Amino acid sequence: MTGRRRFEPARLVLGLTLLGLAALHLLRAHGPLADASAPLLGLLLPGALALAALTAVVTHLVRRRPRHRPLDR
């Protein structure tokens, strides 16, 4: 059994946004969003990547932050 893996919020955000994007494409192809424009849906992919990148940067900054140490008395 392998060791524990570090939680990566950016991967979670990217996976959820890509699932949502896939659902929108399915709805556009077979359902009520048939009149949605393809270029608009095409712009959602770079938006999902940008959101994941922003999440990764914030996560990195939070994890890099120095821990507070109690004062020696």
d(Cα 63, Cα 18) in Å, to the nearest integer? 25
Establish if 4 belongs to a structural domain. no
Structural domain range at position 51: 37-63
What does the pLDDT read at residue 26? 86
Q: Report pLDDT for 53.
A: 96
Domain count, the chain: 1
Helix residue ranges per DSSP H, 3-69 = 9-30, 38-64
Global pTM reads 0.75
pLDDT tens digit sequence for 9-20:
999 999 999 999
Quick check: is 14 in a domain? no
Does residue 45 lie in a domain region? yes
